[in-house]
Each structure stands twice: as C-alpha cells, then as structure tokens.
Amino acid sequence: MSVEIAPNYSYVFDFENDFVHQETRRWMVKNWTWVFYYCGIYMLVIFGGQHLMQNRPRFELRGLLIFWNTALAMFSIMGACRTAPELIHVLRHYGLFHSVCVPSFIENDRVSGFWTWLFVLSKLPELGDTLFIVLRKQPLIFLHWYHHITVLIYSWFSYTEYTASARWFIVMNYCVHSVMYSYYALKAARFNPPRFIPMIITSLQLTQMIVGCAINIWAHGFLKNVGHSSCNISPMNIKLSIAMYFSYFVLFARFFHKTYLSTNARKGKRVATKTSTTSSDISSKLSASAEQYAQNPKVKAQ
C-alpha cells in the first residue's frame, strides 16, 4: 500500500490550498538579491539610530512590544503546527534521506509549501526586532544583528534552490520561536516567568545549531553518494549553511556561558536573591546583554 508524500491534514485553509509554489519560486529567483539592499538599509538604520538616540531619552514602547512579540509568537506557533506534521510524516514513512534530499515539502505539499514561503518572507519584517533595542537604548550585541542578517540572506537564497534540507531548519526555527516569543510577550506584559525559562530557550537554540550542523553533514554524505540529481541541495549551500550554523553555535555558547555560568552571572543571581526587586531588575543584574537579547535571541535561526 502506497503512502502519500503529504500528511493527511485535518483541515486545509483556502489560502493554503491556493498556494502555487512555481509562482513564488519565479519571484524569488528574480528578486532574492534585493536582500542585500535590505541588509544595507538595516545596518544604516540600527547604527544610525543608535547615534541619534545617544542624547535622547529612551522610549518605553511596552504596548507595542507586547503586540509585536505576541504576533510573532502566534505566527510561529501556527507555522510550527503546519510544517512539523510534514517532517514527522516524511521521517516515519520515507526516512532521513528523503527528509534531507527531496523537497516534497514545497513541491508536493501545499500546506507546508505555503508556510515555508511565509517563513522565508518573515525574515525581513523580523529585522524590526532590532528597532526596539535601539529605541529603548538597550545594548546591541554582535550576535543579534549578525544572526538577523545571515538568516535573512540564507533563507532567501535557499528558497531559489528549493534546498531540501531546509524543511528541518524551518520546523526547528518555528518551534523555538514559538517558545521564545511567547516568553518575551509575557515579559513585556510584566508577567514574571521562572528565571530558568530563558536558560531553556538558549539551550534549545544551541540544540538547534547542533542539529543544523548534523543535517548538513548528512546532506554532504548523501550528495557525495548519489549526486545532485537525487539529492536537491548544492555543495555551496551546504558550505554556507554549516559555516553559518557553526558560527551560531559558537556565539550562542559564548552568550550562554556569559549570561548564566560566568562569575558575574552568579554574582548577579545572588544579589537578585537578596533584594526584592522587579523581574526586569533581576534580568538586568544577570546580564545587560541578556535583557536586550530578550527581544530576539533566535535562530530565527533556521
């Protein structure tokens, strides 16, 4: 008995059913290089904005921040719910090779294909995370803007090639962002989630980077054995992806150590325990960079 490549979704929305992947691919092939202009504008805005804000009072923007993080959390949760079933279905019925080498999640599955397209597009508006950091005069660490730029460029480039292994990166990113943005929405609304939650989020991001490197290693082996005609991922894409994921792992590991394991972090935790401060005060004592990175430590990752 044959098994369908796409899972049996309980419900398919009209906008998902109307998705035509050939049209979006043609558009992306023609326009993806515009991403470099967007990144240039992004850099000018954030560093120019920091200069303009030097002698100005910080903006609170709490209401807008709650809306922003809530919207991204809902989007990520929906994306995870619509793409994860496809990956699980493929792994159960077709195995690891198919999940890494066959782009059926775009070509044969309208639901997953639609949310893959939205995922790629979402990396552009997600640059807006940094505006909150600039306008609220929080420290802007290298990991934050480096991650935003490289994920945006890689995602748009990979869509032009229908990189098959991207199904893994997309599902992982949606799942991590579901947790991450939900947490930051609660923080912005002055709720006080347990302090171990941000540590778990960063741990999930580190796991995401390890799995991303493993997928690229498997993709390299498959490509070497069967060739590009049977494994739809280019050698250049593998090199770019593994370099990107490895650099993320190093930066996130450094961030994790500095924020949660270093001497200063432990001292900040002891001080926070002895004083009856607000949750935001506690976060700032743990690490100034950790508080600012609460706006977006993703991996949007992939």
* C-alpha angle 72-207-8 in degrees, rounded to nearest 5: 60
Q: Among this protein's residues, is 147 annotated catalytic? A: yes
Which residue among the candidates 21, 144, 147, 148 is catalytic per the annotation? 147
DSSP at 260? I
CA 219, 224, 226, 229 torsion-angle sign: positive
* Structural contact between residues 9 and 110, judged by C-beta atoms closer than 8 angstroms: no
Report yes or no: 178 and 77 within 8 Å, Cβ to Cβ.
Answer: yes
Distances (CA, A) of 53 to 112, 119, 132: 42, 32, 12
Q: Are 109 and 217 in contact (CB under 8 A)?
A: no
User: Residue 223 and residue 37: Cα distance in Å, rounded?
Assistant: 32
Query: Are 219 and 99 a contacting pair, CB within 8 Å?
Result: no
Q: How far apart are CA 8 and CA 91, in angstroms?
A: 15
Amino acid code (one letter) for 66: I
Alpha helices in the chain (DSSP H): 14-17, 21-31, 35-53, 62-93, 95-101, 104-107, 110-122, 129-135, 142-161, 166-188, 196-226, 235-256, 263-274, 279-286, 288-293
Q: How far apart are CA 222 and CA 164, in angstroms?
A: 12
For 285, the token pair is 């004592």
Q: Which residues are catalytic?
A: 147
